[in-house]
Structure 1
Amino acid sequence: MIEFKNVSKVYPNGVQALSDIDLTIDDGEFVAIIGRSGAGKSTLIRTINKMHNISSGTLTVNGHDVSALSGKDLRAFRRNIGMIFQSFNLVERTTAMNNVLSAFVPDMSPLNAMIGNFPEAMKLKALESLDSVDILEKAYTRADQLSGGQKQRVALARTLATNPSIILADEPVASLDPITAKQVMDYFKKVNNDGITILLNIHHVELALEYATRVLGIQNGRIVYDGPANKVNGDVLNAIYGDTMEFGHVEA
């Protein structure tokens, strides 16, 4: 469970990114966050694994007070939370397999990590993770030879390798064409069906409504909509985006 209680975030330059967020996300939910650029979507996601510190309030994840975590406790906490980025964050000059294996580096001795001496159990888990997103045949292909959609599937496999209970995705399909974006979203849905909580920041409203069961709408650091995806209509979108828009064709 993820629980925000009166959480605010103010950046050093004075920008108020989040204001008095009260929010509970239960285990196994698929939640999409929508809103204009700069509304606070990425900040909200990145406070959950303490990539960004909150300024006030309380944020609890799986029973842990996130603000109190540091050092090895924070590293252990993050092992249970996967993170997917728009830019894939792969090492381009090595294989898909090696990119997935990199997820295990924090569990290894510095020497074994440096020389790439991964135990067989880790190698098998990496292959299983690639297979789970249907890209096993590219295991020994260099990342720079993969398409954008394939790279994002490798990034998802890398996250799955550590058996997370939560996956955070920050605009994971923003750089993909519409057909490939839907294919990648299919894998997020598959992962969610396996019981993993998905919290996904996305600017394609159509995809948010198609794949998520719950939608959060953020405007100026505040949640202005929190409800089922099938209840989002033109009035809701106007409240989130602030302008009159044609429903179903919003990308912001």
Structure 2
Amino acid sequence: MIEFNQVEKKYANGTIALQNINLKIEQGEFVAVIGLSGAGKSTLIRCINRMHDITGGRLSVDDVDVAKLRGKQIRRFRRRIGMIFQSFNLVTRTTVIKNVLVSFVPDLSWWRKVTGVFTTEQKLKALEALDKVGILDKAYVRVDQLSGGQQQRVALARTLAQNPDIILADEPIASLDPVTAKMVMDDFKRINKDMSISVIMNIHHVEVALEYADRIIGIRKGEVVFDGESNRVTKQILDEIYGGQVEEMKSSAEESSANVR
């Protein structure tokens, strides 16, 4: 379980990114975090794996106080948490399987790290992860020869290979066209249900969030203004989250989709 108790995040310049955050996220939930740009969505999910340090309150994962972790403890903790970025964070000049095998580097002996030699078991796990996201046939293709959607699936496979309990996704479909975005979201949903992996996703696409997530957390100016099941979200709630800018966002999204098509 992930638990935020009066969590605050204040930057050195005095900017308050998060305040009064009180949340409990159970294992196996699919949560979408929505809100305007700059509302604190990315900061919220990045505090979970200590990419950002909180400056007040308590954040715990399975009763482990995240803020108190140090050095190797942080690295071990992060092994349980996969992170998916909008930019994929892949090495494009090498093969798909080598990108997935990167997830095993922390577990390698020093000589394997130096030589880049992975075990047969690790290679099989990497192939299995690629199979789970439907791109096993691309295992030995260079990443720069793949589409954006396929690259995002490589990033997802790399995360699955480390056998995480939690997947954090920071705008994973922002750079994808609508058709490809749906395929990637289907992958997230299937993995969430079949493997009981918690998915906490920061996402701008309101309709997609409502379709795929079981729970919506709405952030406005660093505070949670809504937390509940997706089917409870109304226009009035969205107006509260987005400050009445929902219709403008929909028009912009529709225009972008039309341009892609």
Letter in 2 for 1:118: F
What is the DSSP-based 3-state SS (H/G/I as helix, E as strand, rest coil) of the residue aligned with 1:225?
strand
* Superposed displacement of residue 13, structure 1: 1.5
Is the 8 Å Cα contact of residues 171 and 201 (structure 1) preserved in structure 2? yes
Distance 1:42 1:244, change over 3 A: closer
Q: TM-score, normalised by structure 2?
A: 0.94
Structure-1-length-normalised TM-score: 0.97
CA separation in 2, counterparts of 1:26 and 1:147? Answer: 34
| 1:111-163 per-position Cα deviation (integer Å, ceiling 9, x unaligned) | 31232210000000000000000000000011111110000000000000011
Decide whether the 8 Å contact of 1:168 with 1:199 is kept in 2: yes
Is 1:178 matched with 2:175?
no
Distance 1:215 1:177, change over 3 A: same
- 1:196 maps to 197
Distance 2:175 2:169 in 1: 13
Q: CA deviation digits over 1:183-205, x for unaligned, max 9?
A: 10000001100200000000000
SS in 1 for 2:247: coil
Amino acid at match of 1:73: Q
- Which segments of structure 1 move beyond 3 Å, counting only runs of 4 or more? 244-248
User: What is the Cα deviation at residue 243 of structure 1?
Assistant: 1.4
Contact kept in structure 2, 1:58 and 1:65, CA below 8 Å = yes
In structure 1, the partner of 2:229 is 228
Letter in 1 for 2:204: H
Tell me what 1:213 maps to.
214
- SS for the counterpart of 2:39 is coil
Is it true that 1:38 corresponds to 2:38 in the alignment? yes
Q: Which residue of 1 aligns with 2:147?
A: 147
Give the match's secondary structure for 1:246.
helix
Structure 2: distance between partners of 1:6 and 1:217:
16
Work out the CA distance in 1 between the residues paired with 2:72 and 2:171: 28
The question of whether the paired residues in 2 share the 8 Å contact of 1:203 and 1:251 is answered with no
Q: Secondary structure at the match of 2:246?
A: coil
- What RMSD over aligned residues (CA atoms) do the two structures have, in Å? 1.4
Unaligned runs of 5+ in 1: none
Measure the CA separation in 1 of the matches of 2:160 and 2:251: 31
Quote the Cα distance in structure 1 between the aligned partners of 2:226 and 2:251: 16
One-letter amino acid of the counterpart of residue 219, structure 2: I
- Report how many aligned residue pairs link the two structures: 252
Structure 2 equivalent of residue 81 of structure 1: 81
Secondary structure of the 2:83 match is strand
Q: Per the alignment, do residues 20 and 250 of structure 1 end up closer, same or farther by CA in structure 2, a change over 3 Å counting?
A: farther
Q: Secondary structure at the match of 1:236?
A: helix
The change in CA–CA distance for 1:239 and 1:68 in structure 2 (over 3 A counts) is same
Contact 1:170 1:202 in 2 (8 A): yes
Percent identity of equivalent pairs: 61
Q: What aligned pairs does 1:113-132 form with structure 2 within 5 A after superposition?
A: 113-132=113-132
Separation in 2 of the partners of 1:82 and 1:99? Answer: 14
Distance apart, 1:110 and its partner CA:
3.1
Q: Structure 2: which amino acid aligns with 1:241?
A: Y
The separation in 1 between residues aligned to 2:197 and 2:4, in whole angstroms, is 19
Cα drift, residue 216 of structure 1 = 0.3
